[in-house]
Structure 1
Amino acid sequence: MMNLILFIFGSCISSGLSKKFVFVNELKTYDDAQSFCRKHHNDLASIEDLTDLNDLQTAVSGITEPSAWIGLKKEGPPLWYWSLYDSEFYREGEAEYRNWRTGEPNNQGGIENCVVIDDGGQFRDTSCSSQRQFICYDGNVNVIQRYVIINQPMTWNNAQTHCRKTHTDLVSIRNLEENQQVHALVPAGVVAFIGLFKDPFRWSDNSRSSFRRWSLNEPDNSGPCVEHIFQLNAWKDQNCSTARPFICTSVLKKTQILKVKVKSSLNVNYPAIMTTLLQKIQQKLVDLGMSTDAKLVWRVQSYGAVFHTVQNKKQSALSVC
């Protein structure tokens, strides 16, 4: 019997989430604002990157109020984050790479929330307000020098601002090889800031984003909640009981139908085969830039199957067994 190759057509649905920022011009405490957002939208606004920050600024364009609550609040034990917040920058486990010196971190004086690398290539925690040399990372395409040491001492926050303006960010160290490359830049007897910092703030929607946009000399322990200052496009900590307008996030579901053509001599409507195909299609689309949050499902046709056979012009009409 001839082994026939069938041209089979079907479709799958790609669905993903997109954010919309909603300004609410009602004066509420942080807790009341959070309750309102969770009831009428999704949650208080979380900002994951510069794109989100710019979208938020667009959403409040023309607003005359000076500030509004966002969904950042100091609560729970501090966690370590890298300043470079792009999750796609880190493969599995890389964001957790640490090369602590023996006895570190020790949080001496209870104020050591930032990290330096020493001339032995090891990490130490230190005060963020201390003046240090620092190392930037440059992720621009075709750049010759990925790691750049800046010899002018600055506080950690000012060093972060400088790196973001002139390069990409303070350096992240993801593995032993990168640790060695960064270590090679540190002069004898010097410690230099890197992008690792400890932060007690959490997003209301449980986002793990490490993106922060503090105003100069902030946070200054005015309170555990955070407001966005419109004129500065930056943040300030504030007492949670202060009444402020606020910004919510609405999560919008976006759906797209993808047409799929499969060449196969098998019954591709068999569940196990459809599952394997869907996994391969999803991985291919992620490789091409689709968000990993997007979900693919097969679209069942009105006749009860996903795929239908299209007759090859050189063959008789065929159907899947």
Structure 2
Amino acid sequence: MDTISSEMELDTVFVTLLLAAVVSSSAPRQYEFVQKTMNCTNAQRYCREKYTDLASIDNSADVTELLKSVPESAGYAVWIGLMNTSRSEWKWSLGDPAFYTDHDSLYRNWASNQTNSGQYYCAYMSQDGLWRDDSCNNQKFFICYNDSSKGFVLVDQWMNWRSAQSFCRANHTELSSVRNQGENQQIQQLLNTGGVTAVWIGLFRDSWEWSDKSNSSFRNWAPNEAQGNEDATVLVKSGSRRGQWEDWPCNSQFTFVCHEDQFILIKQNLSWSEAMVYCRQNHVDLVSVPSPQIEWRVMSVARRASTAAVWMGLHHYCSMNMWLWPRGEVVCYQNWAAGNGTGAHDCCEQRTGAIQSAGDQRWVSLPPALRLNFICTNYEP
């Protein structure tokens, strides 16, 4: 009877763990509207003192969330954290970092007579599959990416680059990114089948950077914006340009939106259990990483660490040979470094999980007594 009861209890624990694994795959950004009128420098300083920074935006869903935080009394527009710099780099229109893995956002296939700097600011692909830059105001057919079908769509309408971007966002998902040679060949085949000589792709060059150094290259400029010397960005909250962005001189006066990080790097060197106690006393818990979307944000935080690896909430439940998150959720999404996290572990040797702070930032299995920086979460699922 005792054996049966023990097995039933174990089954109950296992079912509970599986149910706990069904959690939200991404933590929403926490936006905070500030009803104070300031120039962009003072707004940035205020956000960094009271929250994390001026608002960063990864995608259209973030625009919608930010607008929810802004009341009608906010005026025409609010500062966000996009600033003009002296550095001009190539970026993808589909700017959400979660869309890319490893370094595939850096894939390029320039023609031999092109350089990575380029003379112009928008990129197109020719029938030979090679990329070239051109004036964004020129008219070309273009390729959209559709997230529902996970495929590419050739649009045989003449548009400039920004109009093509707007069309793709309205009718599909975004102007196409090209993450690897396989995707490059797919698009090249669409051109050759359709008898098209050149198409816009989603690669563009600009000198804008987020205040918090976010990797997002998402842009939502209103027509004819970001073409002058203004150095800061507002998000319009009403009228025909609602949700779109305008560039303004930093000395202009607007209310603004800050964001609060869901993930906090603690630069103290503690053991895994000490780190968990710290996070539960001062925040919510040691961080969990249930999805690539969350991992991108955790990786960005971990890069600022002073130790080679950073504790997450991963721990090995030895009697069932399972990796769990702090509150019993089964680890479904995984990103282990080679030789880590797989196979049976000696139950006499406890193992806990950390994310590397440099390189490809894979997960590593380490003894819990090691003293490392760690990441807490403020997110309550």
TM-score (norm 2): 0.63
1:220-279 Cα offsets, whole Å, 9 max, x none, are 315011111111111001111111111111224543789975327986363xx413xx46
Residue identity opposite 2:78 in structure 1: A
1:161-197 Cα offsets, whole Å, 9 max, x none, are 1112211211111222221111122255722100111
Deviates more, 1:76-85 or 1:41-50: 76-85
Confirm or deny that 1:134 pairs with 2:164: no
Residue identity opposite 1:122 in structure 2: L
CA contact under 8 A between 2:319 and 2:347: conserved in structure 1? no
Question: What is the percentage of aligned positions where both structures have the same residue?
Answer: 31
The Cα of 1:153 is off from its aligned counterpart by 0.9
Residue number among 335, 347, 359 corresponding to 1:268 in the alignment: 347
CA contact under 8 A between 2:77 and 2:255: conserved in structure 1? yes
Match of 1:255 in 2: 285
Residues 1-321 of structure 1 correspond to what in structure 2 (within 5 A)? 19-105=29-115, 110=119, 112-141=120-149, 146-186=151-191, 190-231=197-238, 232-252=242-262, 254-255=284-285, 261-263=317-319, 268=347, 270=349, 273-275=350-352, 278=353
Q: Which has the higher contact order (CA 8 A, sep 6+)?
A: 1
1:122-145 Cα offsets, whole Å, 9 max, x none, are 10011112111101111214x7xx
CA contact under 8 A between 1:114 and 1:197: conserved in structure 2? yes
Q: In structure 2, what is the Cα distance between the partners aligned to 1:140 and 1:196?
A: 21
Calculate the aligned-residue CA RMSD, in Å: 3.4
In structure 1, stretches of 5+ residues that fail to align are: 1-6, 283-291, 301-321
Residue identity opposite 1:76 in structure 2: S
Deviates more, 1:201-210 or 1:47-56: 47-56
Q: In structure 2, what is the Cα distance between the partners aligned to 1:24 and 1:89?
A: 31
Structure that is richer in helix per residue? 2
Q: 1:149 to 1:17 in 2, by over 3 A?
A: closer
Q: 1:207 to 1:26 in 2, by over 3 A?
A: same
In structure 2, stretches of 5+ residues that fail to align are: 1-9, 18-25, 264-283, 287-312, 322-344, 356-360, 370-381
Structure that is richer in strand per residue? 1
Q: In structure 2, what is the Cα distance between the partners aligned to 1:100 and 1:179?
A: 11
Q: Which has the larger radius of gyration?
A: 1
CA contact under 8 A between 2:89 and 2:117: conserved in structure 1? no
Residue identity opposite 1:92 in structure 2: D
1:106-133 Cα offsets, whole Å, 9 max, x none, are 877x5x1110001111100111121111
Q: 1:66 to 1:252 in 2, by over 3 A?
A: same
1:14-36 Cα offsets, whole Å, 9 max, x none, are xx975321111222111111111
Match of 2:373 in 1: none
Residue identity opposite 1:194 in structure 2: I
Residue identity opposite 1:166 in structure 2: N
> SS state of the match for residue 61, structure 2?
helix
Residue identity opposite 1:165 in structure 2: A
Q: In structure 2, what is the Cα distance between the partners aligned to 1:191 and 1:84?
A: 20
CA contact under 8 A between 2:138 and 2:159: conserved in structure 1? yes
